Amino acid sequence: MINESKILKRPILFLILLLLIITEISAQQKYGIVIHGGAGTILKKNMTEEREAAYNDKLKEALEAGYNILENGGTSLDAVETAVRIMEDSPLFNAGKGAVLTEKGVAELDAAIMDGKNLMAGAIAGIRHVKNPISLARLVMEKSPHVMMIGEGAEEFGKEMKVEFVENEYFITKERWESYQRAIQREEERKKQEKSGTVGAAALDKNGNLAAATSTGGMMMKKFGRVGDVPIIGAGTYANNKTCAVSATGHGEYFIRLGVARDISDLMMYKNYSLSEAAKEVVIKKLGELGGTGGVISIDKDCNIAMPFNTSGMYRGYYLSDGKPVTKIYEDESK
Ligand code: ASP
């Protein structure tokens, strides 16, 4: 005779076992966020203690906000957008408020975001009035059929999406205006000012999804209409769950020509490089050989991170599951 209670019990036991396995797997899933606030000629001798503390505090604030989202089971996309928004709102960085200026003395902003789960991406370029460009990039990804939108068209779309608008003056800090004035006067000064401050984030969430986001004002004194690497998917921003998430900072033209972020992912995908090997190969070797300067922050599907750069400093930090937030600025600190 068939024992009914056995038949009933088995599926229940099986379900309980399955649940236990799933709980165990998700408890083990590592997660974390890595961010940057730009690479360039950043020397301790040129830095005051207050300024150094201000950078470290803001990086920490962005890391903690992103990490809290991940810890509470939120998505890597939300984490990177949130971290980048915090840095866009800070006048310390060359993104959102505090962006560098074009040769015409206005702020023109670029940003991109990418979801490693499905390779969806959104990018905007030449934005003058949207307070948080990274959020507009995300809307392009999620609410439009496109990947990249520029200038007036992108802003019109932003209006439809009801994002926050500001006057262009909002982005221009006193410090950036003064360096713009100096840049006009002296070619040497202009070269010095072509530097750091772009912001970016890459994260891995508890579901194993990777995402990357980058936002910038571009290069000081850039030509009206110039677009850098940041909004070009595969150059300054890239994420793929099969490999890694990358956000770059540096002299954009070189990053575009090398397809830096995608190259790192491809070395992992097709040549089985580790994240650290791939990131070093591209940033230290290939970028260096071409004469480009800058760096990347990156995280892979196993929560390994790499943050190589070939300049004297890069504002950067990471916060990984069960760890503490760590921020660094100069070259001599271990990368
Ligand atoms: N990569 C940015 C650009 O070329 C600038 C930077 O990262 O500082 O637009």
Q: Which helix (H) or strand (E) holds 11?
A: helix 4-28
User: Is residue 42 predicted with pLDDT exceeding 70?
Assistant: yes
Which pLDDT value is given to residue 39?
94
Residue 227 CA, closest ligand 1 atom number: 9
Mean pLDDT of 181-188: 74
CA distance 257 to 237: 14
Q: Is 23 a catalytic residue?
A: no
Pocket lined around ligand 1, Cβ cut-off 6 Å: 38, 94, 196-198, 216, 218-219, 228-230, 236, 249-250, 252
Task: Provide the strand spans (E) within 141-270.
Answer: 148-150, 199-204, 210-216, 237-239, 244-250
Please answer whether residues 218 and 104 qualify as being in contact, where contact means their C-beta atoms are separated by less than 8 angstroms.
Answer: no
Cα-Cα end-to-end distance for the chain: 69
* Residue with the two structure tokens 């920490």: 60
Which pLDDT value is given to residue 21?
62
User: Is residue 35 predicted with pLDDT exceeding 90?
Assistant: yes
CA distance 146 to 68: 30
Please answer whether residues 234 and 255 qualify as being in contact, where contact means their C-beta atoms are separated by less than 8 angstroms.
Answer: no
Please answer whether residues 27 and 71 qualify as being in contact, where contact means their C-beta atoms are separated by less than 8 angstroms.
Answer: no
* Residue with the two structure tokens 């909002």: 170
Which residue minimizes the CA distance to atom 9 of ligand 1?
218
CA distance 128 to 202: 25
Count of beta carbons in the 10 Å neighbourhood of residue 322:
7
Please answer whether residues 231 and 261 qualify as being in contact, where contact means their C-beta atoms are separated by less than 8 angstroms.
Answer: no
Residue 110 CA, closest ligand 1 atom number: 9
Which pLDDT value is given to residue 118?
98
- Burial (CB count within 10 angstroms: exposed 0-12, middle 13-18, buried 19+), residue 12: exposed
Please answer whether residues 298 and 201 qualify as being in contact, where contact means their C-beta atoms are separated by less than 8 angstroms.
Answer: no
Mutate to test the pocket of ligand 1, among 100, 124, 229 (most ligand atoms within 8 A of CB): 229
Which pLDDT band holds residue 335 (cuts at 50, 70, 90)?
very low
Mutate to test the pocket of ligand 1, among 230, 237, 310 (most ligand atoms within 8 A of CB): 230
- For the entire predicted model, the pTM comes to 0.89
Report the percentage of the chain scoring pLDDT > 70.
Answer: 90
Enter the tokens of residue 192.
């010095």
Please answer whether residues 239 and 214 qualify as being in contact, where contact means their C-beta atoms are separated by less than 8 angstroms.
Answer: no
* Residue with the two structure tokens 């956000």: 247
Q: Mind listing the domains of the chain with CATH numbers?
A: 30-330 (3.60.20.30)
Per the model's pLDDT, the better-predicted residue between 189 and 333 turns out to be 333
Mutate to test the pocket of ligand 1, among 100, 124, 191, 198 (most ligand atoms within 8 A of CB): 198
Instruction: Measure 323 CA to ligand 1 centroid, in angstroms.
Output: 30
Q: What residue type is 190 in one-letter code?
A: R
User: Is residue 109 predicted with pLDDT exceeding 90?
Assistant: yes
User: Is residue 24 predicted with pLDDT exceeding 50?
Assistant: yes
Mean pLDDT of 107-131: 98
Which residue minimizes the CA distance to atom 5 of ligand 1?
218
Which pLDDT value is given to residue 198?
95
pLDDT in tens, 9-18: 667 777 777 6
Give the CA-trace dihedral at 48, 49, 52, 56, to 10 degrees: -170
Ranges 100-104, 123-127, 273-277, 278-282: which has the least confidence: 100-104
Which pLDDT value is given to residue 28?
73
Q: What residue type is 323 in one-letter code?
A: G
User: Is residue 148 predicted with pLDDT exceeding 90?
Assistant: yes
Which pLDDT value is given to residue 187?
59
Which pLDDT value is given to residue 13?
74
C-alpha distances (whole Å) from 128 to each of 66, 124, 213, 229, 326 are: 26, 11, 19, 18, 33
Read off φ and ψ for residue 82, nearest 5 degrees.
-65, -45
Which pLDDT value is given to residue 8?
55
Task: Provide the strand spans (E) within the chain.
Answer: 32-40, 109-115, 120-127, 148-150, 199-204, 210-216, 237-239, 244-250, 294-300, 305-306, 313-320, 326-330
pLDDT in tens, 223-257: 999 999 999 999 999 999 999 999 999 999 999 99
Instruction: Measure 16 CA to ligand 1 centroid, in angstroms.
Output: 51
pLDDT in tens, 263-294: 999 999 999 999 999 999 999 999 999 999 99
